[in-house]
Amino acid sequence: MSGHSYDAENYWKANLRLIFGSLIIWALVSYGAAILLRPMLAGIEVGGTDLGFWFAQQGSIITFIILIFFYAWRMNKIDEKFGVHEE
């Protein structure tokens, strides 16, 4: 029984690491590139506008969608590792 509890604890630690890592990436792209670093990115043009504006309008959304797929893929790997995957 204690072996199961240990696996569950490590499973949730891996899950939370993945969630927090994804949230950090999302925050860096959404808030960092689009708001805080916008003045530094203003000179770089992407699609007819500056990179900071692009991140605010498109980049953060695209990053978020990529993170959703990455999370699903990585969570499946974690589920398999800990034996809780769906058949």
Q: Which residues of 22-41 are buried (b: 16+ CB within 10 A; e: fewer)?
A: beebbeebbebbbeeebeeb
Strand pairing of 49-50 and 45-46? antiparallel
* 14 vs 48 pLDDT, higher one: 14
Does 39 have pLDDT greater than 60?
Answer: yes
Q: Which domain holds residue 68?
A: 2-82
Does 78 have pLDDT greater than 80?
Answer: yes
Which of 29, 31, 55, 30 has its CA nearest to residue 42? Answer: 55
Number of compact structural domains in the chain: 1
As beta bridge partners, residue 50 has 45
In a domain, 87, yes or no: no
In a domain, 60, yes or no: yes
Task: Say what the pLDDT of residue 3 is.
Answer: 46
How many CA atoms are closer than 13 Å to the CA of 36, on its beta-carbon side? 6
Q: What mean pLDDT is predicted for residues 23-52?
A: 84
In a domain, 49, yes or no: yes
Task: Tell me the two tokens of residue 64.
Answer: 């978020």
